[in-house]
Amino acid sequence: MKRWLFKHEKGNAAEPILAAAPEGFFLPLPAESLLCADHRKKLLERIWQYTALSEPQFEQLYLYPVRRYATYVQQLPASESHHHAYPGGMLDHGLELVACSLKLRQSYLLPSGAAPEDQAAQADAWSAAIAYGALLHDIGKIAVDVQVEYQNGEVWHPWHGPLTQPYRFRYVAGRDYKLHGAAAGLLYTQILMARQLDWLSSYPVLWSHLLFLLANHYEHAGTLGELVLQADRVSTAQNIGANPTKALQAPKHSLQHHLLMGLRHLVKNEFKLNQPGAAGWLTQDHLWLVSKTATDKLRAYLLAQVVDGIPPSNIAIFNELQSHGLVDATPEGKAVWSATVADDNWQHRFTFLRLQPSIIWADESRPDCFGGTIEPVMDHPLPTCEASEPSTYGLKIPMDGKRSAADPQNQDFGYLDDLMDMLQEPSEHEEESRPVGSQSTRAPHQDVAGQAFIEWLRDGIESHRLLINDSKAKIHTIDGTFFLVSPGIFQRYVTEHPGVSGKAPENDAWRFIQRQFEKMNLHQKKPNGQNIWTCKVKGARRTSSLNGHLLRDSSQISSTVPTDNPFLTLQP
């Protein structure tokens, strides 16, 4: 990748000298110049590691779209005053989303429920689709949120092609803050090549999820949509100084799916709408559900459906609904709105959850809209960036001459170090320096390959795809826990997941996965500090032995453990 990224430097150690930009304008830069910043090079290196592709494959599938994306977004910010609100913020946000989403993706077997051989065959396609969805997540903003113009006053639109002259920009006053999601369709064919789209369109489930995501219908985008939304929360939280750890914890099951199904069932079958005493009101643009009624009923419904991981309180449900993008956030960033409902004969103030009607009804017919009014009650006035005041081109410089946080000369990329730390797998030295038998203090999501292996074990045991205590099984039970036969269990995983070992030789792939598993410190070590135990196998006619890892806690991969295999005896 470095050869590609820095090919403009060959034979010339110095950085290219660029002409000065006219005052108040930015120069359009080539992709290589935009991507050579240190923090962007680190992100690209991490993306390459997560894809486990050869350099030519990575260039074709990932670097080409990233370069095209860079030439379009140039030095535009990702927002006016929220996250990544500085020149170049859109490019940083896009790269962070790709890195985070690919990291999260490694804990999933996709397409969900498919045969292992199909999951293995489609692995690269699903990874690419997730990366493309993440990269193009906010691309519509450059079409509808900002107005970009050249020195001669000509307005630039992204469907004209990349910027070619010095430019300046300003945010559109009174813009629709949801329009950029729908505007992505104007641009993604200019970022992705026809052969990439041809390839992805050959997988019907993947293709439908990607199209729904690009059309801003995350409720229909399945796991692909979940991963991009999670990555967006991580990147945003890290940039604004919030805590992104929770967003990095990929759920074992799709709680979003259960929450969505529960809301649809309740609204369509149980809730009364648009009348005094109702659970909700439907307007042309929004569905307003009384917050306590909706969450109480939703929790009861999920409990009746025996859904795992139900949030324990209404506040926790509010957080989950908001984090999965199922409810709209208030201007203060909260899930619960306060609004006054008024009709000809009465009015009352409620606390609400506000949803997009399409989440419940999609393309189905909807009930009649409420004939009265619903007026939100704001705790605070809208910030300036959301008011319909005219905005100036470029950066806002205070009258006292001090630089704002959005000024590129005042931008501190220290938060990216924290993000890279979260994405970074620990060094061999760090792991080897831990005392024998000590428990790792790192969260499971820090061990991407190892965590993906554990998820594969859980899924295989739960679905009975992986046999236990059979004569040919690679998993047995002994002393009340699981015994993983080595190298057999790791070899099978690698067979189903080609390419997981990154740059390791193909014959060493299973050793790579075994090392990542051992780094998680989920297994018991022998008194002498060795990882591998030996089991004596006594059959009807002969005696043999098996080598493998003994799990410290069986619940790590299954809630129930079969009776110990009577033919196995653990050797000291």
The 8-class DSSP code of residue 500 comes to T
Mean pLDDT of 469-483: 89
Distance separating alpha carbons of residues 403 and 452, to the nearest angstrom? 45
Distance separating alpha carbons of residues 464 and 447, to the nearest angstrom? 25
Flag whether pLDDT at 133 surpasses 90: yes
Residue closest to 467 by CA, chosen among 475, 479, 477: 475
Query: Strand, helix or coil at 417?
Result: helix
Contact call for residues 500 and 494 (beta carbons, < 8 A): yes
Q: What is the dihedral of CA 119, 120, 122, 123, to 10 degrees?
A: 100
User: What is the sign of the dihedral through the CA atoms of 506, 511, 514 and 520?
Assistant: negative
Q: pTM (2 decimals)?
A: 0.51
Q: Each residue of 234-278: pLDDT tens digit?
A: 787 676 655 555 444 444 345 677 788 889 889 988 899 998 889
Single-letter amino acid, residue 287: L
Distance separating alpha carbons of residues 140 and 215, to the nearest angstrom? 10
Beta strands in 343-457 (DSSP E): 347-355, 373-376
Confidence at residue 524, expressed as pLDDT on a 0 to 100 scale:
92
* Least trusted range by pLDDT, from 201-210, 305-314, 444-453, 465-474: 444-453
Single-letter amino acid, residue 414: G
Confidence at residue 337, expressed as pLDDT on a 0 to 100 scale:
92
Flag whether pLDDT at 132 surpasses 90: yes
Residue closest to 119 by CA, chosen among 205, 208, 198, 48: 205
CATH 3.90.1150.10 fits 26-249+394-398, yes or no: no
Q: Is 433 exposed, middle or buried (0-12, 13-18, 19+ CB in 10 A)?
A: exposed
Contact call for residues 356 and 287 (beta carbons, < 8 A): yes
Peptide bond into 527 cis (omega under 30): no
Confidence at residue 335, expressed as pLDDT on a 0 to 100 scale:
86
Query: Strand, helix or coil at 280?
Result: strand
Q: Each residue of 488-512: pLDDT tens digit?
A: 999 888 888 876 655 455 556 888 8
Beta strands in 453-510 (DSSP E): 475-478, 481-485
Terminal C-alpha separation, the chain: 48
Classify domain 428-570 by CATH number: 2.40.10.200
Confidence at residue 246, expressed as pLDDT on a 0 to 100 scale:
46
Q: What angle, 0 to 180 degrees and rounded to 10, lies between the N-to-C axes of helices 222-240 and 414-423?
A: 140
Where is mean pLDDT largest: 24-38, 110-124, 171-185?
Answer: 24-38
Flag whether pLDDT at 63 surpasses 90: yes
Q: Residue 69, Cβ neighbours under 10 Å: how many? A: 26
Q: Residue 194, Cβ neighbours under 10 Å: how many? A: 8
Contact call for residues 122 and 110 (beta carbons, < 8 A): yes
Q: Each residue of 72-117: pLDDT tens digit?
A: 999 999 887 777 888 899 999 999 999 999 988 887 888 877 777 7
CA distances from 210 to 116, 128, 214, 218, 536 (A): 22, 10, 6, 9, 50
List of long-range contacts for 217-225, beta carbons under 8 Å, 24+ apart: 217/358, 218/325, 219/260, 219/325, 219/326, 219/358, 219/359, 219/362, 220/362, 221/133, 222/112, 223/108, 223/110, 223/112, 223/254, 224/126, 224/129, 224/130, 224/133, 225/133
* Least trusted range by pLDDT, from 123-127, 337-341, 499-503, 518-522: 499-503
Flag whether pLDDT at 168 surpasses 80: yes
Confidence at residue 389, expressed as pLDDT on a 0 to 100 scale:
36
Contact call for residues 335 and 289 (beta carbons, < 8 A): no
CA distances from 312 to 136, 262, 301, 554 (A): 35, 16, 13, 25
Q: Each residue of 315-370: pLDDT tens digit?
A: 888 877 877 778 888 887 788 999 999 988 888 899 999 998 888 887 678 899 99
Confidence at residue 54, expressed as pLDDT on a 0 to 100 scale:
87
- Residue 109 vs residue 430, higher pLDDT: 109
The residue whose two tokens read 């004569």 is 471
Contact call for residues 224 and 209 (beta carbons, < 8 A): yes
Mean pLDDT of 388-417: 45
Domain borders along the chain are 26-249+394-398, 256-384, 428-570
Contact call for residues 170 and 32 (beta carbons, < 8 A): no
pLDDT averaged over every residue in the chain: 79
Single-letter amino acid, residue 224: L
Q: Each residue of 268-306: pLDDT tens digit?
A: 888 999 988 899 999 988 999 999 989 988 988 887 766
Question: Phi, psi (5° rounding) for residue 292?
Answer: -70, -45
pLDDT band, very low/low/confident/very high, at 307 (cuts 50, 70, 90): low
- Whether 26-249+394-398 and 428-570 share one fold: the answer is no
